[in-house]
Chains A and B, each alone.
Chain A
Amino acid sequence: MEQDTIAAISTPLGEGAIGIVRMSGPEAIAIADKLYRGSKGKRLKDVPSHTIHYGKIIDLETNETAEEVMVSVMKAPKTFTREDVVEINCHGGIASVNRVLQLVLREGARLAEPGEFTKRAFLNGRIDLSQAEAVMDLIRAKTDKAMTIALGQMEGRLSKLVRRLRREIVEILAQIEVNIDYPEYDDVEEMTHHMLLEKGRYIRGEIKKILETSKQGKILREGLSTAIIGRPNVGKSSLLNSLAQENKAIVTDIPGTTRDVIEEYVNVRGIPLRLLDTAGIRETEDIVERIGVERSRKVLQEADLILLVLNYGEKLSPEDERLFEAVEGMDVIVIVNKTDLPQKIDMEKVKQLAKGKKVITTSLLKEEGIDELEEAIASMFFAGEIEGGDLTYVSNSRHIALLHQALQAVEDALAATEAGMPVDIVQIDLTRSWELLGEIIGENVHEDLINQLFSQFCLGK
């Protein structure tokens, strides 16, 4: 049958306190064994089937402890997939689960395709009739639940938005259809390119708005990846400390584990900031210097938010200007720190370089300006519109993917319209966007959705 070993995170990202990395396949136990360090030299390859073990997962490259974990070992054939299965229970938080996943992948496991665990269960004949029925119940329950959740999530602002958008699109479609199917009837206004452009642009704008809230969803789940950059001695480390100090650091709350501070995370007004390469900041005070230009650019690319720190008490240097260049086009907040020192910086020049980006002055030493900074971070990603309690954000990655596809379809329709394609060709893309939006709210479902839903069982199980 299947020869390789697959792995995936089997708990929903960002939810719950424990994340599980599951492996299935002939190498599952061996891979886990390589990474696992138990007490008294315990080896996972020697333990009995269906047992659970406390220990550590080691990053073999650095020989550092990556995670404190509980590992379940289940040997074939009495497992869900009828293959050897190992489940590694990690601390909560995406970073830790992800790290363990990366380690097992590095040791030779392959990232599972969506639905692959379930598929293996079928293919390996794991399921007899009564169990098949149980799985069907599960599918039933899960699908219905997924739908309910989807709809529940969609209730309120967002569901109304999607429905309204679909209605608008379908009205355009209907008009085009009538033009096509009844070419001689004068009852219906001919859909012109001009009208199409106008309506298409409107719809594009609306989908973008929804996606902006979806970005917040992603941020709330995975954290807003944030890079702090600046020359040495501008106060990056102090910034990190003051963000982290005010009890905002995220801690794990799994009973029995130390209430370790997960250093990379700080919580700003409900938004988890995931600070990139904080080690770099702490050690050398200069990320650019330490990791080289190439890699720092990569870090910058990954970041959702960049905090560019300048020194109020020094003149702008060419290095500062280069930093401005490097973050061109990104979401940046410029922090002019050390207002406790006499001003030497040219604030006009700073504003000029910032090109409309938010500039905030702080004295981290005197704890001034931090509120303003937090406000700026929050408003940047919530557009200042949304209040903490009743966020209706799109958190389901399937929905986000669908919205992106729908947006792309509308973009295509607009591009075709601008290129002078006939209306009924434009209509193909428009119809697609309508169908995609329909899939979000469970209307007009077809088999792509089915695949998608089917896929989700495995990872979520």
Chain B
Amino acid sequence: MPYDAGSYDVIVVGAGHAGCEAGLAAARMGAKTLMLTISLDTIGFMPCNPSVGGPAKGVVVREIDALGGEMGKNVDKTYIQLRMLNTRKGPAVRALRAQVDKVAYQREMKKTLENQENLTLVQAMVEELIVEGDTCIGVVTKTGARYYGKAVVLTTGTFLRGEIIIGELKYSSGPNNQQPSIKLSDHLKELGFELVRFKTGTPMRINSRTIDYSKTEIQPGDEGPLAFSYETKEFRTEQLPCWLTYTNAETHEIINKNLHRAPMFSGMIKGTGARYCPSIEDKVVRFSDKPRHQIFLEPEGMDTNEVYVQGLSTSMPEEVQHQMLRTVPGLENAQLMRPGYAIEYDVIVPTQLWPTLETKKIKNLFTAGQINGTSGYEEAAAQGLLAGINAVRKIRGQSEVILKRSDAYIGVLIDDLVTKGTNEPYRLLTSRAEYRLLLRHDNADLRLTEIGYEVGLISEERYKKFLAKKEAIHEEIKRLRSIIIKPSPQVQAFLREIGSSELKDGIRASDLLKRPEISYEDVLRFAPRKTPLSPDASEQVEIQIKYEGYIEKSLQQVERLLKMENKKIPEDIDYDAIHGLATEARQKLKKVRPLTIAQASRISGVNPADISILLVYLEHGKIARVSSNEG
């Protein structure tokens, strides 16, 4: 029998990467928060790669940290390998990537949740929402508990009507054989939400003791103190390497011979998979001329022998998976511990959301993570954080927090989702960002700490430190701009030595630093400081001076767009009453209901003429109001 189980400010459904951030953010902002999860043993579970970060995604983890989120800190506590990627490329695309001890990650995250004030953690499966009028006011669990909440955040991941597919086998399941959530999905449909079906997948796990590593190439981590979080002080020293091997003609032959049994091709899978994350059968079919594909062997943790076989994502029958492994150098005798599988699940069409991640249909209901059609732990965590923040601000009557595309990758992610939607699991790529040079991993704190502080997720102490760093960077740049380095014999000798051209005349220290071959350290030789700057402040000084011209150009672009960003479209606008809009544009506008002209202009199918008409209409509306005021 249903019973009343209590009232909260915010209820978070799910405790994956989105749920954890949402719950922690809400609780830390002082809201009385309830987190409900199907299983307390799978908090912060990573059903796929034991890996966090990489290009774009790594920047997101930094952004989460700058906003006061948890993911970066938790990775720093539990990684088994950390690498800085793209170091030979420019600063805009550098990114950290960690291999994470999966079990340790879950354990640490659970500990953090359990010890968080204002946060209540309960194991329960939510089957229904309590909706009054057009507002969500709570949830009902399978066991009949009725929890009331001023706002509800759904972070159901791939659990909604989840189905696992391995070869000809298909069964109802959440990821890794957890309980799926069937009723909630039906309930959302009843409430009028449009759901679509997506597909994702994961490779097999094998036993490390059965791998012949001598036939593979080692991929070590980077030495040195690296961390995702700006607050991390202790750095893990013990690291595990990854290993590289390849498929070959034999592997491909086995796959080709068994294609009729591959659910992707037999028609058994109907959900849309992601192009950037193809299964090995997909790769073999689509790139049939490639003689081999890379396979990275990634340890799943310090205390386990399970190894993740990156590159062999598959939903082939288990039997074929065994055969495939046999053909790969080093894996001839590998023992398969868990088979790879594909999973299909329900996704809310994300254009049904406001940029705050609140649903348009039902007030005070937010959704975040894979339920919104994304893939990736980082994308999920980022949405969870923003949904948590906005849920609390909504119930407190505070203004919404919407990150612009020029503020953060998180802004790009959410804007893409709610403006354009997605027809495959959405993954962040650096190329999705127009202002990549502004959205660097090294300046995430400079971009976002202010916002994190304002919403109450950054401590006073950290904020003060941040301000000091900002000031130090500013002062040092000013200093380098004021110092003239003269063509002294020492300077010339040094420049000759490193293959740079000699000075003809005195040059500003900042201008010398603009030479690609000159580093900040080099400049310090001839423009010494009394006290050294911190390494990350030094990095900022170097990047901000070296790429000044480019950064300036990007900022100008942002500036130009700002007018459009600031042109608000009233929420109650009646697109049917606007004469002259093209039919397709009208339909899209009615569906997306953009908040600004800039957002409207990013909707595919809304062309410049429609934007002009919209502007005319808005201008006209304003005039009408002005004249009625005058009258």
Contacts and interface: CB of A to CB of B under 8 A. Distances in A.
A450 B612 contact: yes
B550 A425 contact: yes
A185 interface: yes
Interface in A165-221: 173, 177, 179-187
B430 A453 contact: no
Contacts of A133: 579-580
Interface string A432-459: 0000000000000111111001100000
Interface string A130-152: 00110111011001100000000
A453 B598 contact: no
A135 B623 CA distance: 15
B608 A137 contact: no
A424 interface: yes
Given A133-B580, A186-B294, A177 B613 contact: no
A180 B516 CA distance: 20
B550 A136 contact: no
Contact of A453 (B437, B579, B612, B620): B612
Contact of A450 (B553, B601, B617): B601
Contacts of B627: 125
A184 B296 contact: yes
Interface in B599-631: 601, 607-609, 611-613, 615-617, 619-620, 623, 626-627
B426 to A, nearest CB: 14
By secondary structure, the B interface counts as helix
A135 B611 contact: no
Most buried by A among B93, B294, B437, B597: B93
Nearest to B287: A187
Given A419-B516, A425-B547, A445-B607, A122 B580 contact: no
Interface in A369-424: 419-424
Given A125-B627, A447-B601, A450-B608, A424 B89 contact: yes
A112 interface: no
Contacts of A449: 608
Interface residues of B, number: 50
Contacts of B547: 425
A105 interface: no
A341 interface: no
Contact of B86 (A139, A140, A180, A420): A180
A420 B609 contact: no
Contacts of A187: 290, 293-294
A42 B609 CA distance: 44
B429 A424 contact: no
Interface in B428-479: 429-431, 436-437
B381 interface: no
B601 A422 contact: no
A181 B616 contact: no
A140 B516 contact: no
B616 A135 contact: yes
Q: Which of B90, B516, B601 has the most CB of A within 10 A?
A: B90
A326 interface: no
B362 interface: no
Contacts of B93: 180, 424
B616 A122 contact: yes
Contacts of A143: 607-609, 612
Contacts of B92: 424-425
Given A136-B578, A143-B607, 6 more contacts: A140-B609, A180-B86, A180-B89, A180-B430, A424-B89, A454-B615
Interface of B: 55-56, 85-86, 88-93, 219, 290, 293-294, 296, 429-431, 436-437, 516-517, 547, 550, 553-554, 560-561, 564, 578-580, 582, 597-598, 601, 607-609, 611-613, 615-617, 619-620, 623, 626-627
| Cβ-closest 3 pairs across A and B | A422-B90, A136-B580, A143-B609
